[in-house]
Amino acid sequence: MGSEDLFHHRKARNGTALRRQKDARARSRRYLIVCEGTKTEPHYFLELLDDLRIGRQLVRVAPNDGASPDRVVARALALYEEDAAGGDAYDTVYCVFDRDRHATFDAAILRIKNLNAAAKPLVAITSTPCFEMWFLLHFGYTDQPFHAAGKKSVGDQVLAALKTKPGFGKYGKGQKGTYARLKDRRDAALVNASRLRQHCLATRSVNPSTEVDKLVLALVRDFR
């Protein structure tokens, strides 16, 4: 094979590889997850991705740039636009944050709605009072509201309830390995979270509630 023929052969092979990459990308989705928390939520989702064998090139769990809901949304939008500028935008961007006592919660929800209207694929994944509500639902259904009492914040009350569950007596925010301890109860948690959402709709209450199940289901469904 002459040098010119070799050049054309390599060019064709490279072109075929590129088409395969594009075809693979067309068949898959890319998600971005930006969390309010710096440890608890990222650890959980990264461990979930490892368990489902989802590569980081398909789902990115990015650090936030401030813990308040408005900062989470701003960071998510910046990362989305940065990726879009490179020609391959994320299909969905999940903003994971709590209601808790955040003054910017409602503003963050409104901004996401406005961004959706502008074709920006941001999704709010909220929990009330906090992310650990999702963990608690792994152990059974509850719609009992949580309230601050004495020196314990509303989030502290959820943690106290979680610590009564098997294997969680010494639970603390930021621990690794939480997903593994909950994995076998995941299907039950999905059912309980969906049931709780129906209860919230019927009672027009959001305390307690969580939408983390929606994100977990999306990961299981789209990368099975």
Helices 212-222 and 186-203: crossing angle in degrees, nearest 10, is: 130
The answer to the question of residue 33 being in a domain is: yes
The answer to the question of residue 76 being in a domain is: yes
The answer to the question of residue 10 being in a domain is: no
The answer to the question of residue 170 being in a domain is: yes
The answer to the question of residue 162 being in a domain is: yes
CATH, residue 199 = 3.40.50
When divided into structural domains, the chain yields a total of: 1
The answer to the question of residue 168 being in a domain is: yes
Q: In the numeric block, which tokens belong to residue 178?
A: 């939480």
Q: What is the pLDDT of residues 111-159, one digit of tens each?
A: 999 999 999 999 999 999 999 999 999 999 999 999 999 999 999 999 9
pLDDT at 16: 57
- Distance (Å, whole) CA 96 – CA 85: 23
Q: What is the pLDDT of residues 77-109, one digit of tens each?
A: 999 999 999 999 999 999 999 998 889 999 999
Q: Domain range holding 137?
A: 29-222
The answer to the question of residue 69 being in a domain is: yes
The pTM score is 0.88
Nearest to 116 by CA among 88, 80, 62, 155: 80
The answer to the question of residue 166 being in a domain is: yes
Average pLDDT rounded to a whole number, residues 191-202: 98
Nearest to 125 by CA among 72, 54, 48, 181: 72
Residue 169 or residue 11, greater confidence = 169
